[in-house]
């Protein structure tokens, strides 16, 4: 995993915690996290995995997190037919 991918994974986890309330139970606005993920996605090099790029561009953030955690087999098929 590259440093940029690690940063994306960290942002994805923070987004999930903000949306669900995480350990504190206090939900936060997800907008700053989505904006950060958009910036990070734009920074990815062209040789980035097409699957990861697809998940991030479609904002399938849970699928992107699973992919980065080596859990891509857990991803359910989406409406687009990709995975």
Tell me if residue 17 falls in helix, strand or coil: helix
| Residue-averaged pLDDT of the chain | 89
Global pTM value: 0.83
pLDDT tens, position by position, 23-62 = 777 888 899 999 999 999 999 999 999 999 999 999 999 9
**Segments in the chain forming alpha helices (H):** 3-20, 31-43, 50-57, 61-68
Q: Kindly state the tokens that stand for 43.
A: 């920074």
**What are the boundaries of each domain within the chain?**
3-72
Length of the chain in terms of residues written: 83
Of 60, 57, 64, 65, the closest CA to residue 78 belongs to 60
């Amino acid at each position: 995993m590259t440093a940029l991918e690690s940063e994306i994974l960290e942002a994805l986890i923070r987004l999930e915690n903000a949306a669900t309330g995480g350990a504190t139970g206090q939900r936060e606005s997800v907008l700053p996290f989505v904006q950060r993920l958009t910036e990070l996605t734009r920074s990815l090099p062209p040789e980035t995995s097409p699957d990861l790029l697809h998940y991030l561009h479609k904002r399938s953030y849970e699928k992107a997190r699973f992919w980065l955690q080596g859990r891509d087999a857990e991803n359910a098929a989406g409406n687009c037919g990709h995975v």
